[in-house]
Protein backbone atom coordinates (compact mmCIF):
# COMPACT_ATOMS: atom_id res chain seq x y z
CA UNK A 1 0.00 0.00 0.00
CA UNK A 2 1.25 3.47 -0.88
CA UNK A 3 2.18 5.84 1.91
CA UNK A 4 -0.26 8.77 1.96
CA UNK A 5 1.25 10.84 4.76
CA UNK A 6 1.79 14.56 4.18
CA UNK A 7 4.36 16.05 6.55
CA UNK A 8 4.30 19.77 7.32
CA UNK A 9 5.74 22.04 10.02
CA UNK A 10 2.89 21.31 12.45
CA UNK A 11 2.79 17.54 12.06
CA UNK A 12 1.51 14.87 9.72
CA UNK A 13 -1.76 14.28 7.89
CA UNK A 14 -2.91 10.90 6.61
CA UNK A 15 -4.30 11.91 3.23
CA UNK A 16 -6.33 8.69 2.99
CA UNK A 17 -8.58 10.06 5.78
CA UNK A 18 -9.25 13.43 4.11
CA UNK A 19 -12.78 13.82 2.73
CA UNK A 20 -12.38 17.36 1.37
CA UNK A 21 -9.25 19.30 0.49
CA UNK A 22 -9.33 22.83 -0.84
CA UNK A 23 -7.31 26.06 -0.94
CA UNK A 24 -8.66 29.34 0.40
CA UNK A 25 -7.63 32.87 1.23
CA UNK A 26 -7.96 34.02 4.82
CA UNK A 27 -9.12 37.63 5.02
CA UNK A 28 -9.95 40.14 7.75
CA UNK A 29 -13.55 41.29 7.60
CA UNK A 30 -15.06 43.46 10.32
CA UNK A 31 -12.57 42.35 12.96
CA UNK A 32 -13.15 38.65 12.17
CA UNK A 33 -11.28 36.24 9.94
CA UNK A 34 -13.07 34.56 7.06
CA UNK A 35 -12.03 31.99 4.47
CA UNK A 36 -12.92 32.86 0.89
CA UNK A 37 -12.09 31.38 -2.50
CA UNK A 38 -8.81 32.35 -4.11
CA UNK A 39 -10.71 33.74 -7.09
CA UNK A 40 -12.86 36.00 -4.92
CA UNK A 41 -9.82 37.24 -3.00
CA UNK A 42 -8.08 38.08 -6.28
CA UNK A 43 -11.14 39.96 -7.56
CA UNK A 44 -11.47 41.97 -4.33
CA UNK A 45 -7.76 42.39 -3.51
CA UNK A 46 -8.03 46.19 -3.49
CA UNK A 47 -10.86 46.09 -0.92
CA UNK A 48 -9.80 43.34 1.48
CA UNK A 49 -7.03 42.65 3.95
CA UNK A 50 -5.41 39.31 3.15
CA UNK A 51 -4.07 37.53 6.25
CA UNK A 52 -2.76 34.33 4.65
CA UNK A 53 -3.44 31.56 2.21
CA UNK A 54 -4.71 28.29 3.70
CA UNK A 55 -5.02 24.69 2.66
CA UNK A 56 -8.04 23.13 4.36
CA UNK A 57 -8.18 19.41 5.15
CA UNK A 58 -11.63 18.17 6.27
CA UNK A 59 -12.06 14.73 7.81
CA UNK A 60 -15.85 14.58 8.33
CA UNK A 61 -18.09 12.66 5.91
CA UNK A 62 -19.21 14.68 2.90
CA UNK A 63 -22.63 16.18 3.60
CA UNK A 64 -21.95 16.72 7.31
CA UNK A 65 -20.85 20.00 8.83
CA UNK A 66 -17.04 20.02 8.88
CA UNK A 67 -15.92 19.87 12.50
CA UNK A 68 -12.69 17.89 12.22
CA UNK A 69 -10.40 20.00 10.11
CA UNK A 70 -6.80 21.07 9.80
CA UNK A 71 -5.85 24.37 8.19
CA UNK A 72 -2.27 25.01 7.17
CA UNK A 73 -1.33 28.66 6.60
CA UNK A 74 1.01 29.95 3.92
CA UNK A 75 2.43 33.44 3.46
CA UNK A 76 2.26 33.40 -0.34
CA UNK A 77 0.16 31.85 -3.05
CA UNK A 78 3.34 30.26 -4.43
CA UNK A 79 3.92 28.41 -1.14
CA UNK A 80 0.28 27.25 -1.17
CA UNK A 81 0.55 25.97 -4.75
CA UNK A 82 3.85 24.25 -3.90
CA UNK A 83 2.16 22.37 -1.05
CA UNK A 84 -0.74 21.42 -3.33
CA UNK A 85 1.72 20.08 -5.89
CA UNK A 86 3.53 18.06 -3.21
CA UNK A 87 0.23 16.58 -2.00
CA UNK A 88 -0.77 15.70 -5.57
CA UNK A 89 2.52 13.84 -6.06
CA UNK A 90 1.96 11.88 -2.82
CA UNK A 91 -1.57 10.90 -3.81
CA UNK A 92 -0.61 9.96 -7.38
CA UNK A 93 2.35 7.79 -6.39
Which residues, in sequence order, are CB contacts of 29 under 8 Å at separation 6+? 48
Answer yes or no: is pLDDT of 1 > 50. Answer: no
pLDDT digits (tens, 9 = 90+) for 12-66: 999 999 999 999 999 998 888 999 999 999 999 998 999 999 999 999 998 898 8
DSSP code of residue 61: P
E strand or H helix at 36, and its extent?
strand 32-36
Q: Is 30 left (phi over 0), alpha (psi -120 to 50) or beta?
A: left
Amino acid sequence: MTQTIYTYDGGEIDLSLVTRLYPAALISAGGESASVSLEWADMKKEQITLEAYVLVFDFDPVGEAPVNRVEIRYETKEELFGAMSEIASIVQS
